[in-house]
Structure 1
């Protein structure tokens, strides 16, 4: 009987001894509690945990990629959109991540969702679409400050999609079309203004010498004749007509 109990006790002691040896990978740390109180952080490599007295909680130090679910956001200009994002973070203080918060992954996820809605709600739709880099930095900064007490470092935040209703998509398309029309009109008006300035300069130069205008008409007539047109409409300058009339009046008087 005693041998039987001795065998059982020896097996139990052997199991306890084996369970005391733990191996942690390079990216793992063990948070050790002695009789319920925090003792120290051990790892990586081979460590010993005293059975029945000490408990160990494994913590992964690798970067965690967390997908933030799609959130309903109302922008500052009262446009309803659905936005989702991805957060990159990792644990830098294993003891804080275990002691200060019950579930650091769930806590970071909930905080990321509320921060996403809060930050994007302070901006207009155009800013959400055109200034994503700035918004990413703002969200990352707020998350990093809030999770610092949990021993977590938020490395990056990326807004993935900004989904709009079909009615809003059509409205944005109309706005873009109106903007292109406005730019086209402005460019056309600027071209007309520049052309008028050049014509004014040319007229000023030609007015300095009346023969220059006649030469210009002759050059124009040469260009028209070179196109092999059967009909040529050639405007006759008033100056030439007036000179002819004056010449005829002088001949008649003489």
Structure 2
């Protein structure tokens, strides 16, 4: 008799444990009645009738999905290895359970194929310099395709774009050549500006005879200070011509 009552009490405890469930604020329970969808319950204390009702617990918090490294061939035929991270959450618990077998695995596989597809349409320079644009493009496509699963993809971040050693050396040479090109352009622009200023100065000096004479004298003074040896300069006729004209 003792064992009978003990078994009965144990059975009652098991039934109660499977009848009352506590759903946290970020959890929902998708309840099925005899195999058919019944309703979504929670948060708080919910009642699920054993045997005739079944419950699937769904977490609504944002999840972080690490996309494994993918081999991608860019539009300019460069082979790179790329990995990314996806932030998503379940917004419709019913669709996440009914419309897809395993929404986490499905989102992971879709993220990998979408990453390869989108990056394969762009050149290497865009992968390295326009990540924000690529992140947005991937996020938009994933969000649209997972909408029927009750999933919202909130953010996509490309973490690493890895190149082989030969490509790294080629990019370094390209960057060095670009720096040299810019230096030559800057030097040429400087020479052009200097020649223009010299031309303007020559025009001014040619129009003002006194200015030309003063410039000549200034040059003699500078040379005399810097040089200790005797230097003979030809005396321009134009320099003494004004004195003869006065006479």
Q: Do Structure 1 and Structure 2 share a fold, with TM-score over 0.5? A: yes
Q: Partner residue of 1:213?
A: 212
The number of aligned residues is 243
Deviations 1:125-171 (A, max 9, x none): 00110100000000000000000000000000000000001000000
**Alpha-carbon distance change, 17 to 209 in structure 1, aligned in 2, over 3 angstroms:** closer
Retained in 1: the 8 A contact 2:73–2:120? yes
Q: Give the RMSD, CA atoms, in angstroms.
A: 2.1
**Alpha-carbon distance change, 107 to 232 in structure 1, aligned in 2, over 3 angstroms:** farther
**Residue correspondence of structure 1 range 181-192 to structure 2 within 5 A:** 181-192=180-191
Q: Which runs of 5+ in 1 are unaligned?
A: 248-254
* Distance in 1 (alpha carbons) for counterparts of 2:205 and 2:115: 68
Task: Say yes or no: does 1:196 pair with 2:195.
Answer: yes
Q: Partner residue of 1:114?
A: 113
Q: Partner residue of 1:252?
A: none
**Alpha-carbon distance change, 215 to 98 in structure 1, aligned in 2, over 3 angstroms:** same
SS of 2:57's equivalent in the other structure is strand
Give 1:211 shift: 2.4
Name the TM-score, length of structure 1 as normaliser.
0.89
* Distance in 2 (alpha carbons) for counterparts of 1:233 and 1:99: 102
Name the TM-score, length of structure 2 as normaliser.
0.91
Deviations 1:19-68 (A, max 9, x none): 20000111111100011101111111111000111111110111100100
Retained in 2: the 8 A contact 1:224–1:232? no
Give 1:194 shift: 0.6
**Residue correspondence of structure 1 range 105-254 to structure 2 within 5 A:** 105-227=104-226, 229-231=227-229, 236=234, 238-240=236-238
Retained in 2: the 8 A contact 1:221–1:234? no
Retained in 1: the 8 A contact 2:213–2:239? no
Task: Say yes or no: does 1:29 pair with 2:28.
Answer: yes
Q: Partner residue of 2:67?
A: 68
Q: Which runs of 5+ in 2 are unaligned?
A: none
* Distance in 1 (alpha carbons) for counterparts of 2:98 and 2:74: 37
Q: Partner residue of 1:8?
A: 7
SS of 1:30's equivalent in the other structure is strand
Give 1:10 shift: 5.0
* Distance in 1 (alpha carbons) for counterparts of 2:68 and 2:132: 19
**Alpha-carbon distance change, 57 to 210 in structure 1, aligned in 2, over 3 angstroms:** same
Q: Partner residue of 1:96?
A: 95
* Distance in 1 (alpha carbons) for counterparts of 2:68 and 2:23: 33
Q: Structure 1 stretch 207-216 or stretch 76-85: which is displaced more?
A: 207-216
